[in-house]
Amino acid sequence: MRVGIFGGTFDPIHCGHLVLAEQCREQCELDEVWFVPAALPPHKLNASITSAKTRCEMIELAIAGNPAFRLSTIELDRSGPSFTVTTLEQLHTDQASHELFLLIGADSLKDLPLWREPSRILQLATVVAVNRGDRPLPDRMELRAVIGPEVDQRIVTVNMPGIDISATDIRGRVQARRSIRYLVPRGVEMYLQERGLFRTRDSGVSE
């Protein structure tokens, strides 16, 4: 089975994430896309993040009805920061028959050499760099120089329409009592409304 692994904070999940996942599913002929919320993203260690349970519930609401989309709690079920290479190693061991595709925004591609064990990541998964709109792609020469020639075989590009939404923007809109309709799935919008999440700066903070 061809499985796309899509990691993020998902605080909250929004339509940009869903379009990315769907475009990768279609263009890379994936059987499934697994949404993998991070426990403690290494680059957000000091930030306040909404509880894992709440982020998972919002993901479940967002992906309901799409049989190709799944929630994976692999990073929440282990302690410590979520390094991508550790997650891929674990999936590779547990699901040996799956072919893994790591979905990342093309803008994150330039940071790949700074991630833990980038060469091992490319051995474990094909990296799918998602180009949003017509933003320029990072220079592969540089990646090749730092990581090695495997960059050419193990990184593919997918294009998606640019959807200029971020979770930060969603939280800001909720706090400012502005509409988030159509920016997040209806179920997520209702969930946030019912629980009053993100209404104040600290409302979504982790338990």
Contact 22, 62 (CB under 8 A): no
Considering only 121, 167, 174, 183, the residue that binds ligand ATP (CB under 6 A) is: 167
End-to-end CA distance of the chain: 36
Q: Which of residues 72-101 bind ligand ATP (CB under 6 A)?
A: none
Nearer to ligand ATP, 148 or 162 (CB): 162
The answer to whether 50 touches 206, Cβ cutoff 8 Å, is yes
Binding piece for ligand ATP, criterion CB under 6 A, among 25-33, 85-93, 112-120, 165-173: 165-173
Helix (H, G, I), strand (E, B) or coil at 184: strand
* Residue of the chain from 25, 55, 132, 154 that contacts ligand ATP (CB under 6 A): 132
Q: How many helices (H) and strands (E) does the chain have?
A: 9, 6
Pick 49 or 147: Cβ nearer ligand ATP: 49
Identify whether the C-beta of residue 14 lies closer than 8 Å to the C-beta of residue 144.
no
Cβ partners under 8 Å of residue 42, min gap 6: 81, 82, 83
In the bound complex, what is the minimum distance in angstroms from residue 108's beta carbon to ligand ATP? Answer: 5
Stretch that binds ligand ATP, among 87-95, 162-170, 175-183, 194-202 (CB under 6 A): 162-170
* Residue 104 within binding range of ligand ATP, rule CB under 6 A: yes
Closest separation between CB of residue 17 and ligand ATP, Å?
5
